[in-house]
Each structure stands twice: as C-alpha cells, then as structure tokens.
Amino acid sequence: MIEAPFPELDELLTLIGEAGHRLSEIEASEGAAGNISVYAGWPVDPRRRFPLVESVELPLTVPELAGATFLVTGSGRRLREIIQDPAANLGCLVIEEGGQSGLLYTSPRRLFSHLTSEFNSHLAVHHDQVLTSHTNFHTVIHAQPPYLTFLSHIPRYQDTTYLNRHILRWQPELIVQLPEGVGYIPFLLPGSPLLMEATVAALHQHRILVWGKHGVIARSDVSVKRASDRIEYAETGARYEVMNLETNELGEGLRPDEIKAICKAFNVEQNIF
C-alpha cells in the first residue's frame, strides 16, 4: 500500500526501467528473459505516453479489478532496454467493466505485438493480492538469476527449508530482508495454468519464489525496486552457496544461533532457523 501523493506515470516508467537495468547488471535477464508488471489502483491517464488504444482479451477474468491500471512489459522485450524508452517496451492496460477484457494503450514506437506470455501469472498474483490485502500498488517481476536457478537443478535444493537454510546463511542482512524465505515450486511448463496456480498459492507465504529449473518471481506492495532488491538478495545468497559448493564446502556460513541472535536484535520473525 502506498500513500498519496501517488507516483506519476513517468515516475513509474522510470522505476521499471531502473529495475530492469539492475536485473540485467546481475545477469538475471539474458536476451529477452524476464518480465515486469505494475498495478496502480489510482486513476492514471495513459494517453500522453501511450496514445494508441485497442481492446484485448485478458488471460483470466478479474471483475474486481475493473478500472485498474497495469504497466506490463511487451513480449520479447529486453529488460535492460526498458530504461532507454519505457513507452516503446511497455503497454498500459486498463481493465474494462466485467474484467474479461482491457484497453491496451501503447506508444507509436511500440516494439512488441503482445504483452508478455507470463502475464497470466502476473495478473493472477496481482488479482489475488489486491483482493486479500486491498493494496493500491503491487509489482511482480520474473527474472532468471543464474545461481538460484542452478541450485534448483540440484535435487537437495528442491526443498524450501533446505534451500533457505543454505542460501540465507551467508550474510547477516539476508534473513532481515527475506524473513519469509524464498519459496520453491518444482518445474512447471512456462506460461501454463498450473504454474500460475502454484505461483499464486506460494506467494501467499513468500514474497519471492524460485520456479524450479527456470528462474524466480518476486512481488512487492511498496515499490518496483523492493521486488528487484529481493531477487538480488536471494541471488547473492545463492551465489555464496555455489561458491561454497565449488570449494568443497569450506565455508561455515552463519550458524543458526548467530542468525537467531540477528533476528532477536532486529525484531525479525522467522521460522527457517
């Protein structure tokens, strides 16, 4: 939830561009991998930046979101290039009455034909979070950070508890930034209804998930940067973990008692350690 005065459309576009750029810097978005969407629950006039309009069918029916505005990356667009020309890389979708269709506003410089193919998962997560928390702002980011994704190929890391006890032990701030830990869901077909359903359910408990053998999805109801920071923190923990595997596990990591002491000092509630 964010308080008035609400960010202007241009501020949101810039923040999405900066998050995409940072995800690219940490190598979490090779080629056209990754996608970002932002929900704004206040009136936004998209027409100066996005003067073209068409009606599009939504991947799921969301009547409760009628009138809501979404900024969404276009299919095949590169996260690192959004910052150069956000309007060319993003569409602005306003949900119509009944929630079966939306008005998609785009720029004459538009570089895509459709919104991201992962928009079904994004929209389902936004819908679920808005209905349960009544937030007026929500962002969802999918990226493919290599160390977290690599760990998801190793069977023993395909378990939420094991994964978190190993990746969150390398820096004191990891448990502070990720107190609910990173959720894990096994490989499911990208863009599929099964992946969408599993993602919605797991994001009730977590604010970032590993999609096994694929990448991650993170959400925030505070800012776009907060969601990309979560990906960066989790990826940093995974990077240490991979370094440790490569050095025959010479590293000790913070012990559970040390992590519990950090949680006590910083009032962090967690049930991982």
> Which residues form the interface with Zn ion (CB under 5 A)?
215
- The answer to whether 210 touches 182, Cβ cutoff 8 Å, is yes
Dist. CA 199–CA 201, nearest whole Å: 5
CB of 71 or CB of 217, closer to Zn ion:
217
Instruction: Provide, rounded to whole angstroms, the least separation between the CB of residue 138 and Zn ion.
Output: 20
**Structural tokens at position 18:** 């900066």
69 versus 73: smaller Cβ distance to Zn ion: 73
Longest dimension (CA), the chain: 59
- Shorter beta-carbon distance to Zn ion: residue 49 or 78: 78
Q: Closest approach of Cβ 184 to Zn ion, in Å?
A: 16
**Strand-pair partners of 104:** 54, 93
Nearer to Zn ion, 35 or 236 (CB): 35
Quote the CA–CA distance of 213 and 148 in Å, as a whole number: 9
What is the radius of gyration, based on Cα positions, of the chain? 19
Smallest gap from Cβ 217 to Zn ion, in A, equals: 9
- Judge whether 150 and 216 are in contact, CB under 8 Å: no
- Contact between 60 and 120 (Cβ < 8 Å): yes
CA 127 to chain centroid, in Å, comes to 14
- Nearer of residues 99 and 215 to Zn ion, judged by Cβ: 215
Tokens of 175: 């448990």
3-state DSSP assignment of residue 73? strand
Nearest Cα residue to 83 out of 73, 97, 70, 93: 73
Cβ 175 to Zn ion shortest distance, Å: 27
SS3 127: helix
Q: Cβ 23 to Zn ion, closest distance in Å?
A: 12
Q: Shortest gap between Cβ of 86 and Zn ion (angstroms)?
A: 21
State the minimum distance, in angstroms, from the CB of residue 58 to Zn ion: 20
C-beta closer to Zn ion: residue 215 or 237:
215
Closest CB to Zn ion among 7 and 20? Answer: 20
Confirm if 38 and 86 have CB atoms less than 8 A apart: no
**HSE (CB half, 13 Å, CA atoms) of 26?**
25
